[in-house]
Structure 1
Amino acid sequence: MMPHLMKPLAILLISIGALAASSMAAPAKGGWLSTITVTDKGAHIIGNPSAPNKVVEYLSYTCSHCANFELKESPLFKAQFVATGKASLEIRNMLLNPIDLTAAMLARCGGKAKFFGNQKHLFATQSTWLGQTKNISENTQTQLKNQNFAGFMTGVYDEIGLAPIMQQRGITPVQAKKCLADKDALKVILAMTESGAAAGVNGTPTFFVNGELQDHIHSVDDLKSKLK
């Protein structure tokens, strides 16, 4: 994962404020899994906004443990607790490196209705695109050093094979590159990472249940034991 790219990410984390991007929840039809809400901090919530249990997950798209939870544990949690209105699940970003930033920007592409599907697809294909980071060119790395973040992310998108992966989600290269150039989305993602670090998040995935930081959550059973 190219450690020499990680240091310049610190440049991104200076003087970034959160943006208001709230969205009202719609009534659930056939279960709460169709209800997606965007918080005033830009985080995405699936499920009943008034659920008695509010679960927050800080995740990284380059984290293998996050992928494992998303693909193996999250579906069961959503079926048992989110669909029934007993819990909501809020996703927040915790960036680990600049590649992670590129994936996080793409996850938001297409609006809130596509977010959770985009996320699942990025995790399902993680080994494919993450295995291509050796193809990131010197020119693309220079874009990051020069703080041309859109240029850097566009280069990463092209060079590690994220274009065909996002096209499988119905997102064209033109749409994807517009998303990667979205300065407001960039601020939102960086602000979440900054606030997560301030709240004690030092690894991924990290969970909060009803406002309390939890240790050693690796499965649905682990989460279940923390719910009301």
Structure 2
Amino acid sequence: MKKYLGAVLVGVMALSTALVAAPTPSKWLSTVTVTDKGAYILGNPAAPNKVVEYLSYTCGHCAEFEVKEAPAFKAKFVATGKASLEIRNMVLNPVDLTAAMLARCGGKGKFFGNQRHLLATQAIWSGNTKNISAATRDKLKAEDYTGFMIGTFDEIGLGPIMQQRGITPAQAKTCLANKLAFNAVIGMTESGSALGVRGTPAFLVNGVLQDHIHNAAELQAVMK
């Protein structure tokens, strides 16, 4: 009996050690704050490295960075509190504007997941722009941006994409009509242009614009 109890005790102690040693998800990967300009920041607000990414949702290089490079950067720097990642819009076209508005649907808790999903599925919906009707294009000419975005949402298949994120078509269309979100997206685009951003993705690292970064290693090289 003593031998049996001893074996059980050893097993319990080993299990306890394993439980203590098991890694826990970083709180910084679920910490999202919003700036006064409407940009979303992932990670430690007091991180020693502040990385800003200007992106377009119709930019192929932005999609590639999000899918192939961002996970490693987040795991190594954001999760550890060494860097924060702020996303600012650089709208390149009206379809991009539509996607940018949808990324914000659901608030800060959904933003980074929405962004990843939109960029991961970019080849699907961006390839359907030929389906945008003349009536929808006419709304753009008339500066009815909400009407254009809602028409585009329906015609290029963004409804099913957003439903995969738990956002119904009705909820998505309410987001597309959000004037505050529209002003924030356009405002970030204008401020980025004034800063000198000419292509996407572009990175601002600790206040310095970097126009040569294509991967996480190059991003790491300019951080402190």
**What is the rounded CA distance, in whole Å, between the counterparts of 1:208 and 1:63 in structure 2?**
18
**What is the rounded CA distance, in whole Å, between the counterparts of 2:120 and 2:49 in structure 1?**
27
Note if 1:38 corresponds to 2:20: no
Deviations 1:9-30 (A, max 9, x none): xxxxxxxxxxxxxxxxxxxx73
**What is the rounded CA distance, in whole Å, between the counterparts of 1:226 and 1:30 in structure 2?**
24
1:65 corresponds in structure 2 to 61
2:146 corresponds in structure 1 to 150
Deviations 1:117-156 (A, max 9, x none): 0000000100000000000000000011111111100000
Asked whether the equivalents of residues 50 and 83 of structure 2 are also in contact (C-alpha less than 8 Å), the reply is yes
Note if 1:176 corresponds to 2:172: yes
User: What secondary structure is seen at the aligned counterpart in 1 of 2:124?
Assistant: helix
The within-5 A match list for 1:171-210 is: 171-210=167-206
AA matched with 1:109: C
**What is the rounded CA distance, in whole Å, between the counterparts of 1:45 and 1:147 in structure 2?**
31
**What is the rounded CA distance, in whole Å, between the counterparts of 2:94 and 2:86 in structure 1?**
22
Note if 1:125 corresponds to 2:131: no
**What is the rounded CA distance, in whole Å, between the counterparts of 1:128 and 1:86 in structure 2?**
35
Aligned residues: 201
User: TM-score of the superposition, structure 1-length normalised?
Assistant: 0.87
The within-5 A match list for 1:69-84 is: 69-84=65-80
Note if 1:213 corresponds to 2:194: no
Deviations 1:51-101 (A, max 9, x none): 000000000000000000000000000000000000000000000000000
AA matched with 1:166: M
AA matched with 1:207: F
Asked whether the equivalents of residues 31 and 85 of structure 1 are also in contact (C-alpha less than 8 Å), the reply is no
User: What secondary structure is seen at the aligned counterpart in 2 of 1:132?
Assistant: helix
**What is the rounded CA distance, in whole Å, between the counterparts of 1:187 and 1:34 in structure 2?**
26
Note if 1:96 corresponds to 2:96: no
User: TM-score of the superposition, structure 2-length normalised?
Assistant: 0.88
Runs (4+) of structure 1 exceeding 6 A deviation are: none
Task: Give the Å deviation of 1:215.
Answer: 2.5
Task: Give the helix-richer structure, 1 or 2.
Answer: 2
User: What secondary structure is seen at the aligned counterpart in 1 of 2:114?
Assistant: helix
AA matched with 1:186: F
AA matched with 1:107: A
Q: Which runs of 5+ in 1 are unaligned?
A: 1-28
1:222 corresponds in structure 2 to 218
**What is the rounded CA distance, in whole Å, between the counterparts of 1:120 and 1:64 in structure 2?**
13
Asked whether the equivalents of residues 26 and 80 of structure 2 are also in contact (C-alpha less than 8 Å), the reply is no
User: What secondary structure is seen at the aligned counterpart in 2 of 1:169?
Assistant: coil
CA RMSD of aligned residues (A): 1.1
Asked whether the equivalents of residues 31 and 84 of structure 1 are also in contact (C-alpha less than 8 Å), the reply is no
**What is the rounded CA distance, in whole Å, between the counterparts of 1:88 and 1:140 in structure 2?**
39
1:24 corresponds in structure 2 to none
User: What secondary structure is seen at the aligned counterpart in 1 of 2:214?
Assistant: coil
Of structures 1 and 2, the larger Rg is shown by 2
AA matched with 2:34: V
1:85 corresponds in structure 2 to 81
**What is the rounded CA distance, in whole Å, between the counterparts of 1:187 and 1:144 in structure 2?**
17
